[in-house]
Chains A and B, each alone.
Chain A
């Protein structure tokens, strides 16, 4: 992508294309089956083979499970399915909403497995990326409806609450008070009946699984506060807490909505990867479009220039340059001739290829890597789970305290037992504590999102604080992966402008990245004036060079061998382009990959922070050393394979280091999985982006600096929030249990304490917004 406008256009097209696809799908959508009989269709081998692969006697099937919210859900499914005879292993990936089940057809039918998941109350379908995305979108929509209702209700209820509180102090007509209460009841009832449903169903699942998640205290507090308010309204005695109920519901839904939004965004950005159809070549030479799933091992396919290769295959005829940065991370296209293997997801650049399909079309290397990464990601320690568990224990503690207070005051005069117990529940509701983490995280995440960094899992922001080493990849990460002309060395009678004019004319028809360096635009921008030439007999040899005749002279441009010269041996061959006139050397062009903007600043920032920077590049040329010295890297290593990089990371980690990896290619994928925190560049392959902790949306390296400062700030605000929540709960709980806090004060205290936490967390986002507005003004002014 050359500019933000191109990115906008391509996003627009992709977005529109996807959208149309889903509109079409809606008509034939597989809705989750309603009863166990409906799952019988999955028992047929022809059906389950589509989302399963054999593993000896057994099969591994991938199921898409919807409505999973927390680690408890994953635990429940794993245990329930694991208990079925014939199910060997179950792994649930909470982030992707995916369950991988290993089962033996001899002992169990797949329909039983489906029905078991269904019985637990989760939606289940065979795993398919589109169906999963659709499920996510539907879930997000229903969450938005609940959130909107709770928000509008909250605003209404706050108004009446203020009137009621004022009435408590100054006196209020009983009629008016009752009117306000009935009004509040009317508004709060849909909140409990509709908006709060996810918490109740989550709490119910948690109780069934024997683990009190965050949903349990939330549900009890909401139901108790609502119940007490209902009683007070009907009887005309006591206090109402309708505002508390709705505020609670709104803030909790909001944090859940924001988290889902990030997941949805990431999932939809990795979808439009492989085409769904391919051109199949019939024995008589004619070709026709067929669905990928209809292809068989050994079929021959035609791939035109500019197309993505849809399957893994062997070249039968034709030759072309193929760019497979999705696998190698190197943007330099490689020449492919008959007999070479081409992988699904690579980009065919300048010639037609006829491929023979190898293996199953939907089991390409790309999807296999995807599966491997899924299991790799399951191994990561879920720090968020710990936070959930701790607040679960806190919940039990609060419930215990409430029960104790109730019992104590039932036998001792002085305070109403029910009101005291309610005060304990409301005042010490883990609201502030449970909001402290997610609100800070989601504010930081949305702040970063605005600046162009997509954080996959918020725990990363915590890990960033302790980073000791940052490892960079070179091509595509520190550099743009697009060569540009550095200098021209003349050998014949041509002058610089003539040589470049000829080069531009010859390279014009090619879409190779090197040819782009000779485009009229690129050279014009570099300040060269070119004369337009009309070459004839143009012959484009993929991966080699181009020959043509201009004004009666024959020219060749391209590799040294192509132009027919002997080894010159003084510089990196790949980046030198030769021009021959009538078989004699006319000029040599030296190209350089452009360094990304902000690379030097990012490195300077890391140095200042005391973080060691390491450059590990797959490139074996001298350029690595030149670059490393110019940017002031602490160490560097050229010619690294993925295994070398992995070994380097392991040795750093063994010495107690915490490693941040910044990379782009799939060859970096295992490295990215091993690193403590990983960042994928915007130009990275979709696969790498989907497995990295942070995916950048623009290639500005200054975002690395932003990540560090943001995480430090988030750590600070998180600590403030937790400190405040603990301080508040620590003082309010005993006070309420002693009967010193009336429920209305408890409600105000609780609302204020969570408000303090949320407002404090919002500072993470708000300052960011102002700053980004300022930079926009500056950018506009400079235009």
Chain B
């Protein structure tokens, strides 16, 4: 059972890491509009625009 003394602190680290990751995602607008992101793949305007920008350079 002494393995718990290592595993629980590790779980604590994971807990903090997951929360930090989640906060990062929320703060970086990952959850702002879940509907539009699903549709974005249907339109390739953005990629084309970027490629055009690159060609200009």
Chain A contacts to B: CB under 8 angstroms: 8-9, 11-12, 15-16, 19, 137, 141, 144-145, 148-149, 152-153, 156, 173, 176, 179-180, 183, 186-187, 190
Contacts and interface: CB of A to CB of B under 8 A. Distances in A.
Interface SS of B by simple majority: helix
Contacts of A190: 19
Consensus secondary structure, chain A interface = helix
B4 A144 contact: no
A148 B43 contact: no
Contacts of B23: 145, 148
Contacts of A179: 4-5, 8
A275 B22 CA distance: 37
B4 A156 contact: no
Contact of B22 (A16, A145, A183, A187): A145
Given A141-B26, A144-B31, A187 B12 contact: yes
Interface string B22-33: 110011000111
B19 A149 contact: yes
A173 B1 contact: yes
Nearest to A186: B12
Nearest to B32: A137
Given A12-B36, A15-B33, A15-B36, A149 B4 contact: no
B38 to A, nearest CB: 10
Contacts of B18: 152
Nearest to A137: B32
B19 A148 contact: yes
B39 interface: yes
B22 A152 contact: yes
Given A149-B19, A152-B19, A183 B11 contact: yes
A336 to B, nearest CB: 36
B42 interface: yes
Contacts of A137: 32
A30 B36 CA distance: 27
Contact of B26 (A15, A145, A187): A145
Interface in B4-57: 4-5, 8, 11-12, 15, 18-19, 22-23, 26-27, 31-33, 35-36, 39-40, 42-43
Contact of A176 (B1, B32, B43): B1
Contacts of B5: 179
A15 B36 CA distance: 8
B43 A12 contact: yes
Nearest to A151: B22
B32 A152 contact: no
Given A173-B1, A187-B12, A149 B22 contact: yes
B22 A176 contact: no
B22 A12 contact: no
Nearest to A265: B35
Nearest to A141: B26
16 contacts: A8-B39, A11-B35, A15-B36, A16-B36, A19-B33, A141-B31, A144-B31, A145-B22, A148-B22, A148-B26, A179-B4, A179-B5, A179-B8, A180-B4, A183-B12, A190-B19
B9 to A, nearest CB: 8
A19 B36 CA distance: 11
A187 B4 CA distance: 16
Contacts of B19: 148-149, 152, 190
Nearest to A148: B22
A137 B29 CA distance: 10
B26 to A, nearest CB: 5
Contacts of A186: 12
Contacts of B33: 15, 19
B4 to A, nearest CB: 6
Nearest to A142: B26
Contacts of B35: 11
Nearest to A183: B8
